[in-house]
Amino acid sequence: MPELPEVESARAVIERAGLGRKIVEVDDSDTYVCRPHLPGQIRDALVGRMLVAAHRRGKSMWCDTSEDGPELGIHLGMSGKIVIGDPDGTEVDGGDYWEGRRLPGDYRWSRFALTFADGGRLMLVDPRRLGRVRLDPPVEALGPDAATITPQQFRAALAFGTAPVKARLLDQDAVAGIGNLLADQILWAARLNPGRRVDKLTDDDIARLLRATRTAVRAAIKDGGVHTLKLIPFRVAGAHCPRDGAPMAKSTVGGRTSWWCSVEQALAS
């Protein structure tokens, strides 16, 4: 599933190859992906304009359009990828990590597309059809972005209630951008059990969590996605912690399958 690092890679692709190109056609015919808009509504709003800036907050991404046009929101869902293909066959993409599932030029899963005056296309390619495209998305309700959150904002996000710390990290209203895999990596790096209640966290716990969040996000953006993080290959049955060799433990926390080191991340009484 795309998390903050994958969405950032998609945003960077748009910034690098999709801005300043006049839009001459829009395929917004998928009424599920483009809900609540009717077919042709997004097209009418965008044809003749250009994308002029690409933004991201957490897992949400949106683009400003020229001439004071509407913002174009693109959510990658669980398998989305932004693909920009040009008439000469060159192609760049960013988003979800698909190993062996798509070759260049394979656009069978295109759910939304912009066609530029120069013949290039920007597409949301999404096998599971769980992405979303809409005009003027409500991004203001999201919490602080996990890549840029300040210590004060981070402490505030953990300062109320009795929820398990993993559930709070996954709450996009508290901290925007952390998904299931990234949360497990952060908690493993901070040596905290995912079920630890937020009201039981010490100042040192919170400091370690913030350092682990910053480190994990930076590493995943640099190396190509959350699948590159150190813990991820060990989230399987029979695996042992890559740090101390103890068996990995598994349970459901915050409604999500969670993995942790059975020794270093034991739940304190």
- Sign, CA torsion 208/175/5/127: positive
**What region, left, alpha or beta, does residue 9 occupy, with left being phi > 0 and alpha being psi -120 to 50 degrees?**
alpha
Rounded CA-CA distance 182/230 in Å is 11
Angle between helix axes 203-223 and 4-17 (nearest 10 degrees) is 40
Angle between helix axes 180-190 and 203-223 (nearest 10 degrees) is 130
Percent share of the chain, pLDDT over 90? 88
State the pLDDT at residue 105: 83
With 60 as the cut, is the pLDDT of residue 100 above it? no
Asked if residues 260 and 189 have their Cβ atoms less than 8 Å apart, the reply is: no
Nearest CA to 241 out of 258, 259, 254, 256 is that of 259
With 80 as the cut, is the pLDDT of residue 101 above it? no
Tell me the backbone φ, ψ of residue 57, rounded to 5 degrees. Answer: -140, 115
Tell me the backbone φ, ψ of residue 259, rounded to 5 degrees. Answer: -125, 140
pTM score:
0.91
With 60 as the cut, is the pLDDT of residue 269 above it? no
172-205 tens-digit pLDDT: 999 999 999 999 999 999 999 999 999 999 999 9
- At residue 201, the 3 state secondary structure works out as coil
Rounded CA-CA distance 224/5 in Å is 7
Measured at the alpha carbon of residue 230, what is the angle toward residues 166 and 124, in degrees to the nearest 5? 75
128-166 tens-digit pLDDT: 999 999 999 998 889 999 999 999 999 999 999 999 999
Name residue 164's amino acid: P
Can you point out the beta strands (E) in the chain? 23-27, 51-57, 60-65, 72-75, 81-85, 91-95, 110-116, 121-125, 132-135, 248-253, 256-261
6-51 tens-digit pLDDT: 999 999 999 999 999 999 999 999 999 999 999 999 999 999 999 9
